[in-house]
Structures are given as structure tokens and as C-alpha cells.
């Protein structure tokens, strides 16, 4: 069986180490642990490898956040991936900094990358790993917050949670979403 693990983010150095790019950061850490490298391909940066006996494709879309679904749809078709074999890693304002939560389905919650994914896949029923980035911003500053860099006092929490997120992805691939949720949600 093959799995598609997608990290949401924006391409370009100006977006490196920003809250909105945590999906890219988690996949970078996982690729490093697996000793595989990303290559620029159609609509995304792609790395392929194995977790034990399971084949995985890591995807960082190069379509920018608002068109993430286009890349996801393409690679699902390219690799004959079902929604059960898909996991989307994304930032989440409604979760406390560093909290991770896996879900089988759900709404986009105002997240443009998830909104586009829903529109392209014609369903809300796909697995996601939500990474809490907190919501410490004034009412009109949401965009600046999510596109802002991590603060020095956040980096330890973020790094520890990225490790937890890679373990949750491995659990998803090897044991399924239900067991991964039981182990890593909270």
C-alpha cells in the first residue's frame, strides 16, 4: 500500500519558519529522519521512501497555500491514492501552540489550503494532522500572525511537537488513523 503525506505551506524564502508553513517543516523533519530528499516535480516538491514495509510519497505543494488542492488531487491520481491513504499536515489557529490533533474528516475551518483541498477532492472526508500554532494576535492581525516567524520562546515547543507529529505520521502509516489518533491526540 502507498500513502500520500502532504504538508501545507507556501514556497519562497520569505515564508520559511513561518507558522503557516508548519506542514512543510514537519515533512522536512520526516524526510531528514528517513534520509530522503525532495525533488522539484510537477506542482510540488516530492520525496519518496518507506516507513518499514509501507511506501510513502511526501508532497510539499508549490501551488501556494490557496491552491494546495490542485497538487493533492494530481498526486492522488498519479499514485492511485484513496482518501484513506491521504494525510494532510496543516497549521491550526484554534489549537494551542504545539498541540497536534489527527482527524478523519472535518470542515476547512476558514483555512484556505483545506478549503481548496475540499473543493478539488469533493469531500471533507480525508485524514489530517492539525498542528496548533496558537492565536495570540489582535482581531485584525490574523494574516500577519500566520505568516509571521516563530518567536524565540516558541521554538522549543515547536521542535518537540514536530517530533511528535513525525511519530504520529509513522503511526498513521503503520497502524491506521484510529490508532494514531488514540496515541497522539491531546
- What the chain holds in terms of domains, given with CATH numbers, is 2-184 (3.40.50.1470)
Respond yes or no: is residue 111 known to be catalytic. Answer: no
pLDDT tens digit string along 139-175? 777 778 888 899 999 999 999 999 999 999 999 999 9
pLDDT tens digit string along 68-116? 999 999 999 999 999 999 999 999 988 999 999 999 998 887 788 999 9
Handedness of CA 28, 34, 39, 42 (dihedral sign): negative
C-beta separation of 107 from 186 below 8 A: no
| C-alpha–C-alpha distance, residues 33 and 58, integer Å | 13
Task: Specify the pTM.
Answer: 0.94
Catalytic residue among 20, 79, 108, 138: 20
Q: Give strand ranges (E) for the chain.
A: 2-7, 39-41, 44-51, 54-61, 86-92, 100-103, 127-132
C-beta separation of 67 from 58 below 8 A: no
Amino acid at each position: 500500500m502507498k500513502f500520500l503525506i502532504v504538508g501545507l505551506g507556501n514556497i519562497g524564502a520569505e515564508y520559511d519558519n513561518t507558522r503557516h508553513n508548519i506542514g512543510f517543516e514537519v515533512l522536512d523533519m520526516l524526510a531528514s529522519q528517513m534520509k530522503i530528499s525532495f525533488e522539484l516535480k510537477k506542482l510540488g516538491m516530492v520525496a519518496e521512501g518507506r516507513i518499514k514495509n509501507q511506501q510513502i510519497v511526501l508532497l510539499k505543494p508549490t501551488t501556494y497555500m490557496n491552491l494546495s488542492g490542485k497538487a493533492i488531487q494530481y498526486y492522488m491520481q498519479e499514485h492511485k491514492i484513496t482518501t484513506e491513504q491521504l494525510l494532510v499536515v496543516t497549521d491550526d489557529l484554534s489549537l494551542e501552540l504545539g498541540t497536534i490533533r489527527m482527524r478523519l474528516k472535518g470542515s476547512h475551518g476558514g483555512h484556505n489550503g483545506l478549503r481548496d483541498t475540499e473543493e478539488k477532492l469533493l469531500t471533507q472526508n480525508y485524514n489530517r494532522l492539525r498542528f496548533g500554532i496558537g492565536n495570540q494576535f489582535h482581531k485584525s492581525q490574523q494574516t500577519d500572525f500566520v505568516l509571521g516567524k516563530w518567536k524565540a520562546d516558541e521554538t522549543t515547543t515547536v521542535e518537540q511537537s514536530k517530533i511528535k507529529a513525525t511519530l504520529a505520521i509513522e503511526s498513521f502509516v503503520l497502524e491506521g488513523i484510529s490508532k494514531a489518533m488514540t496515541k497522539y491526540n491531546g
